[in-house]
Amino acid sequence: MAYELIASEIDKNKTRFIERLREAVEIPSVSAEAAYRNEVFRMTDWTQANMEKLGIKCRQIENGIEDRPDGSKLRLPPILFGHLGEDKSKKTLLVYGHLDVQPADIHDGWNTEPFKLIEIDGKLFGRGSSDDKGPVIAWLNAIETMQALNIEIPVNIKFVFEGMEESGSTGLDEILEQHKEEFLADVDWTCISDNYWLGKEKPCLTYGLRGLCYYAVEISAPKQDLHSGVYGGTIYEPMNDLVWILSRLTDLKGNILVDGINELVAPLTEDELKLYDQIEFDVEAYKQDVGVKTLTVDDKKKVLMNRWRYPTLSIHGIEGAFHGPGAKTVIPAKVVGKLSIRIVPNMEPEQTDALVVAFLNKLWKERGSPNKFRAIPFHSGRPWVADFNHPHYQAGARALEKVYGVKPDFTREGGSIPVTLTFQNLTGKSVMLLPIGACDDMAHSQNEKINVFNYIEGTKALAAYLLELAHI
């Protein structure tokens, strides 16, 4: 009965909830651009004020100074901590979200003013509407609704809202680490709404993300770039060595040829395989969205597994060689190939780095070039995968089924959200991604939107999830 009351109340307040999102979208809290940095502070204050109206105790954790690439310094937005309920008999949920947005300019191809919320055909266009202001405000809407109806929230809730997510979450990990024994000590579950459904119709819960290992392959020979007319024909050209090496890392279909990599991948379990059977995913629509006629694999399950649970290797580019339009005839003296591997369980970055460097060195020996060669591991991030059979996930699934009338898909994603792993490591408890936006929300792109349906039903889903947490 509680859920039905809540759902009906949320529907009644639809217009007001959209107005609340409008206020947030009109604060252009772009973290990447110095000119907008004050707006991130303003967005943080706005959020705190809205939280305090609900009785959430807030504090802003100072995040220090950022050294900008241009040499200037800029104050970092604080991390906003919130705390609702201190009932020792209840368990505690941690909610994460971010208040900053990607840059946006109407001249980049937006059909509407990006920092206005414009409703067209049931879609709310505006920067941050889906990533991540909509989900953050949906939490506040859900709590407000339960309070208005005097329905008890069965858990204590803690909030971590940051203002630098779109700029690498600068400082967040350190601050969370410092508050591990205090603010994070009693957290039982973490819920993150900062990703998207796999499609446009069916909700999902996300239990895995790939990690990343990045590499540079540096080949150099002469002291300086050389005129190809004057020197061509006598020099072992580093660029020739580099394309040779890079061409030997994958086969035509992108299968990784690095010795030992594929052996590290966690075997597919029966349990996991079953999940893929049920997942709703339209391969043809995916091809159309990407703009290709042929994929490396054509079967639904294989497409999803290649995106989520198998490692992939991409060559991103070459530093040091001519890259402009037109023609230039120089022999580059030093070229650096850039590539990365998306890693999955059970690939540890250290193991992966060792295998990749060994393979590159083996190739280099086979090449027999007299040039200088270095295989350099850059940064890396571990993959994340959670137990989708955990009661936390089952509670999430029951909540979504209640709202949408359909069992959610259990999905993974190919990219990374590093804070997910941070929360899992610091709390030692279950972390779940509960997206409310649709796959075509165009986060990070022009014409970002959230559907009114997703925003309002998502608000219901978060409330339903809070109710379900009582039954774990």
**Catalytic machinery residues:** 100, 165
DSSP code for 279? -
- List the one residue out of 94, 57, 85 whose CA is nearest residue 180: 94
Interaction between residue 88 and its own copies (CB under 8 A): no
* 179 vs 367 by CB, closer to its own copies: 367
What per-residue string of b and e applies to 411-431 under the rule 16 or more CB within 10 Å gives b?
Answer: bbbbebbbbbbbbbebbebbb
Length, in residues, of the chain: 472
Q: Is 131 annotated as a binding residue?
A: yes
Q: How far apart are CA 88 and CA 94, in angstroms?
A: 15
Q: Is 113 annotated as a binding residue?
A: no
**What's the first-to-final CA gap in the chain, in angstroms?**
19
Q: Which of 54, 118, 246, 442 binds its own copies (CB under 8 A)?
A: 246
DSSP result, 189-210: EEEE--SB-SSSSS-EEEEEE-
DSSP result, 70-123: TS-EEEPPPEEEEEE---TTS-EEEEEEE--B----GGGT-SS-TTS-EEETTE
Q: How far apart are CA 362 and CA 160, in angstroms?
A: 46
Q: Is 390 annotated as a binding residue?
A: no
Nearest distance in Å: CB 172, its own copies:
19
Nearest distance in Å: CB 367, its own copies:
7
Q: How far apart are CA 307 and CA 376, in angstroms?
A: 25
* 222 vs 345 by CB, closer to its own copies: 222
Strand 57-61 relative to strand 384-385, pairing: unpaired
Interaction between residue 357 and its own copies (CB under 8 A): no
- List the one residue out of 234, 238, 236 whose CA is nearest residue 218: 238
- List the one residue out of 214, 194, 217 whose CA is nearest residue 206: 194
Nearest distance in Å: CB 278, its own copies:
20
Interaction between residue 363 and its own copies (CB under 8 A): no
- Binders of its own copies in range 250-279 (CB under 8 A): 250, 252-254
Interaction between residue 13 and its own copies (CB under 8 A): no
Q: How far apart are CA 320 and CA 238, in angstroms?
A: 11
Interaction between residue 111 and its own copies (CB under 8 A): no
Interaction between residue 424 and its own copies (CB under 8 A): no
Interaction between residue 71 and its own copies (CB under 8 A): no
Q: Which of 121, 234, 263, 405 binds its own copies (CB under 8 A)?
A: 234
Nearest distance in Å: CB 154, its own copies:
35
Tell me the window of 124-132, 184-192, 410-418, 453-461 that interacts with its own copies (CB under 8 A).
410-418
- List the one residue out of 144, 207, 162, 152 whose CA is nearest residue 424: 207
Using CB under 8 A, count the residues that bind its own copies: 75
- List the one residue out of 181, 187, 178 whose CA is nearest residue 157: 187
What are the C-alpha distances in Å from 78 to residues 69, 100, 152, 420, 447?
A: 20, 12, 31, 19, 28
Tell me the window of 28-36, 85-93, 139-147, 245-253 that interacts with its own copies (CB under 8 A).
245-253
Q: Is 144 annotated as a binding residue?
A: no
Nearest distance in Å: CB 263, its own copies:
18
Q: Is 416 annotated as a binding residue?
A: yes
What are the C-alpha distances in Å from 61 to residues 162, 171, 172, 174, 294?
A: 10, 11, 10, 11, 49
- Binders of its own copies in range 274-293 (CB under 8 A): 286, 290-293
Q: Is 329 annotated as a binding residue?
A: yes
- Binders of its own copies in range 207-226 (CB under 8 A): 210, 212, 214, 221-224, 226
Q: Is 227 annotated as a binding residue?
A: yes
Nearest distance in Å: CB 13, its own copies:
34
Interaction between residue 109 and its own copies (CB under 8 A): no
The phi, psi pair for 309, rounded to 5°, reads: -125, 5
Q: Is 179 annotated as a binding residue?
A: no
Nearest distance in Å: CB 211, its own copies:
9
- Binders of its own copies in range 311-330 (CB under 8 A): 312-319, 321-325, 327-330
Tell me the window of 75-83, 144-152, 334-342, 399-407 that interacts with its own copies (CB under 8 A).
334-342
Residues tagged in the binding site annotation for Mn(2+): 98, 131, 166, 194, 444
Binding site feature residues for substrate:
194, 227, 329, 342, 416, 444
> Which residues does the annotation place in the binding site?
98, 131, 166, 194, 227, 329, 342, 416, 444
